[in-house]
Amino acid sequence: MNKPTLLDLPFEELIAALSELEEPPFRATQIWQAVFKDLRTSYEETTTLSRALRARLAEAIPWHSATTLKTLPSSDRRTTKLLLQLHDRETIETVIMRYVRRNTACVSTQVGCGMGCKFCATGQSGFTRDLTAGEIVGQILASARLLHVESRHLSNVVFMGMGEPLANDDATLKAIRILNDPRGFSLGARSFTISTVGIIPGIQRLAQEALQVNLAVSLHTADESLRSQLIPMNHLYPVSQIVRACRQYVRATHRRVTFEIALIAGVNDSDAHAKQVTEALHGVLCHVNVIPFNPIAGSPWQPSSSERVKAYAHIIESVGYPVSIRHSRGTDIQAGCGQLRAESANEQTSC
């Protein structure tokens, strides 16, 4: 993409871009009203602007909205998965999850992923490119539009979709700032959660950023050897160093860290594995999320039984760590990261 698009621009940069077109600053307010409050998808829908100005803006500051290729609702209607096509025909996934008191969008930060995690469909597909801030923002807007039709409001965003957010931290943080701006979408910083496999420089950067976003670490096991098999990046950023970085993050931000553990039957779900986690996290202000593994096509692994999940969580809770048992959402629509994209690619290959 040769020039920044409308969704890539913070408010001040939009004013500057409009100034080059000899348009007054109030145009930025009109445009952001259309984008973030009225949830329009193009200049053509923005009838507060003249037809001539809309044509000029479309040329000078392109407004790219991703095309929705597939919309898959779960059988219980609480989860919806979107397969979105970008300007270069690459595809990404976004998942919308509805809860009693909140509605959450799970968004992607990269096309594919270079982390190579063995339990993740995206990790197995490889890395293609980073998303721009505008492409990240666009996913949240697509989610907000879908919820708006249902008279619902988007309340939370989790960066747990395709890609590693802290391997694309510039675009991820820029997108958060755009969406956090009270002149636009105005989503509170604490409504965002960045999930990472443990990219230590990214964790250190978050500790210094003036953003009160939430940090989640995909831990899965504290056994260094096993984690290196599951998450190859553990060779570069081992558990011991990740936990040290999280301690520093807590000291700098006074915010707790969430550690995520997907339990795979017979792989990382034993009592001994749970005790290793409690020892590794000693002294860290944290919360632990335990969730059964979401099966992916071609994998021999299966989720741990509910009894094993409860036993594992009990061991961690017994030493004083707050624990939540999360249940997989949207398994009937391949809501696990990268599954729908992989299936769609296979369909195109077989055509």
Which residues have a Cβ under 8 Å from the Cβ of 249 and sit 6 or more positions away?
A: 203, 204, 206, 207, 215, 255, 257
The Cα–Cα gap between 252 and 321 comes to: 21
The Cα–Cα gap between 106 and 121 comes to: 16
DSSP per-residue string spanning 5-73: -GGG--HHHHHHHHHHTT--THHHHHHHIIIIIS---SGGG-TTS-HHHHHHHHHHS-----EEEEEEE
| Residue given tokens 């990740």 in the structure block | 242
Point out the catalytic residue in the list 113, 224, 337, 351.
337
- Please answer whether residues 120 and 113 qualify as being in contact, where contact means their C-beta atoms are separated by less than 8 angstroms: yes
Which residues have a Cβ under 8 Å from the Cβ of 270 and sit 6 or more positions away?
A: none
Which amino acid is present at 166? L
Please give the DSSP secondary-structure letter assigned to residue 334.
Answer: T
Q: Is 113 annotated as catalytic?
A: no
Q: What is the dihedral of CA 110, 159, 93, 188, to 10 degrees?
A: -120
- Cα angle 43-44-48, degrees, rounded to a multiple of 5: 75
The Cα–Cα gap between 28 and 16 comes to: 9
Tokens read off for 319: 């030493």
Q: Is 337 annotated as catalytic?
A: yes
| Residue given tokens 């749970």 in the structure block | 274
Point out the catalytic residue in the list 93, 135, 164, 260.
93
Catalytic residue ranges: 93, 337
